[in-house]
């Protein structure tokens, strides 16, 4: 199945935002056996929209359009589409009812623009958009499926996952594709590739292995294409096991699990409570943990000790420790751990102190120097990272390592054999 | 000047990488008075390259092509271009000499592929690429300039900045384009559009207004195109001011500032220190604040009181308050603020307590109920939000509102007149 993507909106053309939607859609479509042949980014231009649509309909089986469905005057996608298909726009009462309900609940009034947003092309099948007020629209024209969605990423993603892909799978014959994704943390792409090189080289032609790195984690995705569902699944299982047996200590989960979910599951399994003491990560670790629903079952809270004053006053880090070793040191994070265990009364605590950058580095402790420690009443493990100069990347990477250290600590300290399900 | 960008390479189509090159080029071209009308991303496909080039040459004055100039089999851009222009490829000795020198210096041997890389279309003017082995190429065809560059970002950027833009400025008269972006928070796109409807309707034809919403914030972007730099800037200023005067309380900044940066700037300006007490936002507010370099100048830390035990033990929230009103209530967040001011010894504190979801709601306090409070020793302001059911969106939206409340509080309490620069 050939797909062409059209993104509508000036903000991409003037470089104000980067088009991340197309990459996301491309990946999702690939997983579903469809191939993106072209991505066009154009402005809110009536004629250009129609010209581009015409060319796309000619070349592709599926055309995905994002953008231009908002309530303001620069949003002209709907009109351009309706005119191209030669249909009228009609008022869609249910869409308006829905907007009214949402606004009622938040105690605000709707405007004329909201009414205008509810006119839909007569030939459109509406696709439910849980994340926003503008529904997606599905059209069929000249044997091509055209789907129009809002450009706001979380709205587009919802419609793609819940409405578009299921319908596309029904509409088009897709050769079975099966994936098995192994999630690893702790080593980079090249090292892992080296360690499993022979397994990769011996994969049959119809099974591919992709390495998808992201900030300290690498996803290994095996993809099998073919005719026989049962055979494909068995093969995937076989090669997956070969990889797992080769690099067991790097694996933290499968498919779409996040490290935070896995950590949460482990803590809950062992009836443990966690607290964090963060300096340079500034709450990011706590945020990762609390993004998971139900985290109050295993997470009590954090002290973000951004200033040294707080490290001393709240966490009991000794002034002499800070004077002698500095805030970014092993003794400091070890004291932060014991202080947190005591103050927040949890079973396990993790502490991080480092120099996120871009400023603050010294010759002895350059930007990117981060100390981590995780411990319970009996034992504390500590580790030093030497990262780069990018502040945000350092914060995110240190948080990934901290979560992984908690995971490893629970696995090792609480004698878990069955935790990686 | 109308520009069309063509990116060549499968990795964008399969979503393996995000196309950041186009956004970067778009910004640079805008600044130089050129307008990107279309961005096409295609694979390494001979015919599609020629088709896309033909369409681009027809519509644009300048065509920028990135990708496909490497030494491997899938790099076919040069051949496709030479054949399109009807010219031969000839060996370019100086390019080869240069590659030989580079490889000599790093002690490695060149390959046949490197020789092949030195065949250039006869009608190409070569553009020096300091950052890599493949030069850029400049062509003129049908009154259009076509520039082909490597896809590797730092190589493309070098050629654009040092070779392409200077030549383009010489070749074309550039009409200035100017933008003015106003950042707002607190009301949705439709409401704002309503409030400034008459201003928008009365904009002259050469000035456009775009609304760019994202999670509780809306960017308003005015774009002016014309001949006279001075006049355009004055007009932008005039219409910007008209909008600002209409919705002053919604405006938090301009251009690319983030709310966190603005809050930081205000706190620093008034020599104030901030701490956060977070429950449902789980550290996300602190993370937003500490993402800004230099935030230690105005941020001391946080208590993430995820469990009620922590609200009581650390923040001094009274047990009777929790019993009578619950954790998600005005009295609780007000007590969280005073507890934080005392404990972390700051000038200002913000507290959040709510039900992020998807579970945890009740008829009186459904999912999405969030109480916020911000205060200093003298005064505390509180506010209740009624959000949706999406956990992550609730966390992010509540954090945006919290940051805005801090902003408004500092502006109102500390008599700032000039803070919105």
Tell me the torsion sign for CA atoms A47, B26, B229, B240: positive
> How confident is the model at residue B417, as a pLDDT?
53
Q: Give the CA-trace dihedral at A321, A324, A330, A332, to 10 degrees.
A: 30
Query: Which candidate, B42, B47, B56, places its Cα nearest to that of B8?
Result: B42
Close Cβ partners of A126 (under 8 Å, ≥ 6 residues apart) = A92, A95, A120, A135, A136, A137, A138
Please give the interface size between A and B, counted as residue pairs whose CB atoms are below 8 Å apart. 277
Is the Cβ of B30 closer than 8 Å to some Cβ of chain A? yes
The verdict on a CB contact (< 8 Å) between B293 and A359 is yes
Q: Is beta strand A348-354 parallel, antiparallel or unpaired with respect to A274-278? A: parallel
Distance between CA atoms of A254 and A262, rounded to whole angstroms?
A: 10
In order of their start, the domains of chain B are 2-171 (3.40.980.10), 177-254 (3.30.70.2860), 259-413 (3.90.950.20)
**A114-143: b (≥16 Cβ within 10 Å) or e:** bbbbbbbbebbebbebebbbbbbbbbeeee
Give the pLDDT score at B360: 93
Which residues 6+ apart lie within 8 Å of B203 measured at CB? B209, B222, B239
A-chain CB neighbours of B302 within 8 Å are: 283, 302-304, 306
Mean pLDDT of B182-189: 93
Per-residue pLDDT band for B267 (boundaries 50, 70, 90) equals very high
> Is B223 in CB contact (< 8 Å) with chain A?
yes
Q: Is the pLDDT of residue A136 over 60?
A: yes
The mean-pLDDT minimum among A191-200, A345-354, B174-183 falls in B174-183
d(CA A239, CA B393): 38
Nearest one of B228, B217, B304 to B261, comparing CA atoms: B217
So what's the pLDDT on residue B395? 97
Identify which has the larger pLDDT, A111 or A120. A120
- Using a CB–CB cutoff of 8 Å, tell me whether B310 touches chain A: yes
Angle between helix axes A391-413 and A259-269 (nearest 10 degrees) is: 30
Does residue A126 contact residue A120 with C-beta atoms inside 8 Å? yes
Interchain CB contact of A306 with B (< 8 Å) = yes
**Whether the Cβ atoms of residue B294 and residue A359 lie closer than 8 Å to each other:** yes
Half-sphere exposure of residue A128: CA atoms within 13 angstroms, side-chain side: 8
Q: Could you tell me if B252 lies within 8 Å of chain A, comparing CB atoms?
A: no
* Residue A278 three-state SS: strand
Contacts of B283 in chain A (CB under 8 A): 278, 282-287, 290, 302, 304
Structure-block tokens of residue B241: 């001011």
Classify residue A368 as left (phi > 0), alpha (psi -120 to 50) or beta.
Answer: left
Give dist(CA B332, CA A35) in Å, integer.
Answer: 54
Does B203 reach chain A within 8 Å, measured CB to CB? Answer: no
Q: Are strands B2-8 and B62-66 parallel, antiparallel or unpaired?
A: parallel
% of chain A residues with pLDDT over 70? 98
CB A235 within 8 A of CB A179: no
Q: B 113-132 residues with CB below 8 A of A?
A: none
User: Do B39 and A391 lie within an 8 Å CB cutoff?
Assistant: no
Which range is most confident: A240-254, B172-186, B216-230? A240-254
| CB-based contact, B13 to chain A, within 8 Å | yes
- A14 close contact with B: CB closer than 8 A: yes
- pLDDT tens profile A358-397: 999 999 999 999 999 999 999 999 999 999 888 998 999 9
Q: Does B395 touch chain A (CB under 8 A)?
A: yes
Phi, psi for residue B340 in degrees, rounded to 5: -70, -45
Closest partner CB to A20 (pick from B18, B200, B306): B18
Chain B residues within 8 A of A402 when measuring between CB atoms = none
For β-strands A62-66 and A2-8, DSSP reports them as parallel
Q: Cβ separation of A38 and B38 shorter than 8 Å?
A: no
The b/e string for B157-169 (b: 16+ C-beta within 10 A; e otherwise) is: bbbbebbbbeebe
Which residue's entry shows tokens 């009836």?
A: A271
Residue A213, pLDDT > 80, answer: no
Straight-line distance from the first to the last Cα atom of chain A, in angstroms, rounded to the nearest whole number:
35
Is A289 in the B-facing interface, judged by CB distances under 8 Å?
Answer: yes
Residue in this structure with the two tokens 């491997």, named with its chain if needed: B72
Q: How far apart are CA A280 and CA A393, in angstroms?
A: 12
**ipTM for the whole predicted complex goes beyond 0.90:** no
**Predicted confidence (pLDDT) at residue B276 exceeds the cutoff of 90:** yes
Q: What is the mean pLDDT of chain B?
A: 92
Beta bridge partners of B274: B299, B348
- pLDDT of residue B185 exceeding 90, the answer is yes
Cβ neighbours of A303 in B, within 8 Å:
301-304
| Most confident region among A226-240, B23-37, B325-339 by mean pLDDT | B325-339
pLDDT tens by residue, A80-94 = 999 999 999 999 999
Which of B351, B343, B347 is closest to B382 using CA atoms? B351
* Residues of A in Cβ contact (< 8 Å) with B301: 303-307, 310, 314
Residues of B in contact with A17 (CB under 8 A): 23, 212
pLDDT tens-place string over residues A176-189: 778 899 999 988 88
Q: How far is B26 from chain A (nearest CA, A)?
A: 5
Report for A223-227, A245-249, B171-175: range of highest mean pLDDT: A245-249
Closest-approach residue (CA) in chain B for A23: B15
For range A161-167, the mean pLDDT:
96
C-alpha atoms less than 13 angstroms from C-alpha of B260 in its C-beta half-sphere: 16
Cβ-contact A311, A325 below 8 angstroms = no
Q: How confident is the model at residue B416 (pLDDT cuts 50, 70, 90)?
A: low
pLDDT score for B162: 96
* Residue pair B383/B351 in contact by the 8 Å Cβ criterion: no
Q: Do A12 and B30 touch (CB under 8 A)?
A: no
pLDDT digits (tens, 9 = 90+) for A327-362: 999 999 999 999 999 999 999 999 999 999 999 999
The helix/strand/coil state of B327 is coil
Please tell me whether the overall predicted TM-score, pTM, comes out greater than 0.95 for this model.
no
Which of B285, B280, B291 is closest to B333 using CA atoms? Answer: B280
- Chain A nearest-CA distance from B196, in A, is 11
Residue A360 C-alpha, separation from nearest chain B C-alpha, in angstroms: 9
Query: What is the average pLDDT across A313-329?
Result: 97
CA B169/CA A6 separation, integer angstroms:
30
Q: Across the interface, do A22 and B19 touch by the CB < 8 Å criterion?
A: yes
For residue A369, what are the β-bridge partners? Answer: A386
């Amino acid at each position: 199945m050939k797909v062409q993507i059209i993104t509508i909106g000036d903000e991409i053309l003037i470089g104000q935002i980067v088009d991340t939607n197309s990459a996301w859609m491309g990946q999702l479509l690939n997983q579903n056996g469809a191939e993106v042949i072209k991505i066009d980014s154009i402005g809110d231009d009536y004629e250009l929209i129609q010209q581009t649509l015409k060319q796309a309909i000619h070349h592709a089986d599926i055309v995905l359009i994002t953008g231009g469905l908002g309530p303001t005057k620069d949003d002209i996608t709907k009109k351009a589409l309706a005119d191209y298909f030669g249909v009228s726009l009609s008022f869609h009462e249910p869409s308006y009812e829905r907007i009214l309900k949402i606004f009622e609940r938040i105690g605000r009034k709707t405007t004329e623009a909201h009414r205008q947003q509810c006119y839909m092309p007569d030939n459109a099948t509406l696709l439910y958009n849980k994340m926003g007020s503008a529904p997606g629209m599905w059209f069929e024209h000249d044997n091509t499926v055209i789907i129009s969605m809002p450009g706001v990423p979380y709205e587009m993603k919802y419609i793609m996952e819940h409405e578009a892909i299921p319908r596309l799978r029904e509409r088009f014959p897709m050769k079975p594709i099966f994936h098995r994704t192994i999630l690893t943390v702790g080593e980079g792409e090249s090292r892992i590739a080296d360690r499993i090189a022979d397994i990769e080289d011996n994969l049959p032609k119809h099974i591919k292995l992709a390495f998808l790195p992201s900030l300290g984690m690498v996803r290994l995705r095996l993809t099998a294409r073919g005719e026989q569902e049962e055979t494909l699944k068995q093969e995937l299982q076989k090669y997956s096991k070969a990889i797992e047996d080769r690099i067991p200590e790097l694996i933290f989960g499968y498919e779409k699990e996040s490290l935070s979910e896995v950590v949460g599951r482990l803590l809950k399994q062992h009836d443990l409570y966690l607290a964090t003491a963060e300096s340079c990560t500034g709450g990011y670790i706590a945020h990762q943990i609390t993004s998971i629903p139900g985290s109050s079952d295993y997470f009590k809270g954090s002290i973000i000790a951004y200033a040294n004053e707080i490290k001393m006053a709240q966490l009991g880090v000794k002034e002499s420790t800070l004077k002698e070793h500095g805030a970014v040191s092993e003794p400091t994070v070890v004291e932060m751990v014991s202080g947190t265990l005591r103050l927040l009364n949890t079973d396990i605590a993790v502490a991080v102190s480092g120099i996120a950058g871009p400023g603050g580095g010294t010759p002895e402790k350059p930007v990117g120097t981060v100390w981590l420690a995780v411990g319970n009443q009996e034992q504390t493990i500590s580790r030093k990272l030497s990262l780069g100069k990018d502040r945000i990347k350092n914060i995110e990477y240190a948080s990934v390592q901290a979560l992984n250290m908690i995971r490893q600590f629970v696995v090792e300290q609480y004698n878990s054999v069955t935790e990686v399900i």
